Structure 1
Amino acid sequence: MYKTIIEPRISETDGVGHINNTTVPVWFEAGRNKVFKLFTPENTFENWKLILLKMNVEYLSQIYFGMDVEVRNWVKRVGNTSFELYEEIHQDGHLCAKGTVIYVNYNFKTQRSEPIPDSIRGELEKHLYEGDGSLED
């Protein structure tokens, strides 16, 4: 599992006092930085390798300003050219949001998907999640 701690900002809080729903996908993406670095170690867009194919978010509980959140990412599936992540956001011991995302290993120069290299596949497989997508603390 990959873990990322995020400190909610006041600007992410909406008029009813909780973190706005549009913020959650951004936090999930922030939790993927270690995965992005596997595919593009230099962290530049010149040789970027991933395209987002599908994203799903389920909101389970409100998230508030003033308490850190923890983003957790697992690898759910690794295919030939794509992979799926299962993700959760926790705050104060509660599961607040969960979701899945699918990325494709893509070559922007040739405009084609490419097989995931074995070295990256091996790193992804170290973070496999075998559950049903309903983890709780």
Structure 2
Amino acid sequence: MKNISYIENVDEWKKGFTFFQPMKVRFSETDMFGHLNNTVPFAYFEEARIEFLKHKEFMQDWLKEAVDTIPVVADLQCDFIKQVYFDEKLKVYVKVNKIGTSSIDLHYMAINEQNDLCFAGRGAMVQISTITGKGVPWTEDEKVKLGTDQ
């Protein structure tokens, strides 16, 4: 496997994932060669991230009218490892790699039905104020919630 800067030991890295969102590659997500288009993993990361944050009970809070904080993706990257084709079933995993003051570093992993790592990713998400546009620090309770496998 190619070197990926944010993964020291891929076997150890894989062990840290528990939450996943199942995905099935749709025809419209492939190119003329039947390969998954290189933009689609970012949509998969988004869907998995939203479901992960719902699971952690964050999305429900952010969607309330009285709440003045929202999550914003600050950066996102994907490393392609194995080709993915139309009609393949994937599990797209998400985990919190690091919790910052107002940000979290999320890691992603897509595994096919043969248990092969197809693509990996990472990205920073920041909780910001809808009023000031500045980062809003996580509370201690939020840090605990983010760091546990509920």
Is TM > 0.5 for Structure 1 vs Structure 2?
Answer: yes
Q: How many residues align?
A: 127
Find the partner of 1:58 among 60, 79, 89.
79
User: Is 1:44 paired with 2:66?
Assistant: no
- Matched-pair contact (CA < 8 Å) for 1:49–1:107: yes
Partner residue of 1:95? 117
Superimposed CA distance per residue, residues 102-137 of structure 1 (whole angstroms, 9 cap, x where no aligned partner): 01110112222111122221121115xxxxxxxxxx
User: Is 1:106 paired with 2:125?
Assistant: no
Q: Which runs of 5+ in 1 are unaligned?
A: 128-137
- Matched-pair contact (CA < 8 Å) for 2:52–2:94: no
**Structure 1 residues 113-122 or 94-103, which shifts more?**
113-122
- Matched-pair contact (CA < 8 Å) for 2:21–2:51: no
Distance 1:52 1:45 in 2: 19
Q: Which runs of 5+ in 2 are unaligned?
A: 1-17
Partner residue of 1:119? 141
Cα distance 1:11–1:97, how it changes in 2: closer, same or farther (>3 A)? same
Find the partner of 2:94 among 73, 78, 103.
73
Name the one with the larger helix percent: 2
- Normalised to the residue count of structure 1, the TM-score between the two structures is 0.83
Cα distance 1:43–1:13, how it changes in 2: closer, same or farther (>3 A)? farther
Query: In the TM superposition, what is the alpha-carbon distance from 1:42 to its structure 2 partner?
Result: 5.2
CA RMSD of aligned residues (A): 1.9
Query: In the TM superposition, what is the alpha-carbon distance from 1:45 to its structure 2 partner?
Result: 8.3
- Normalised to the residue count of structure 2, the TM-score between the two structures is 0.76
Cα distance 1:31–1:54, how it changes in 2: closer, same or farther (>3 A)? same
Distance 2:143 2:134 in 1: 19
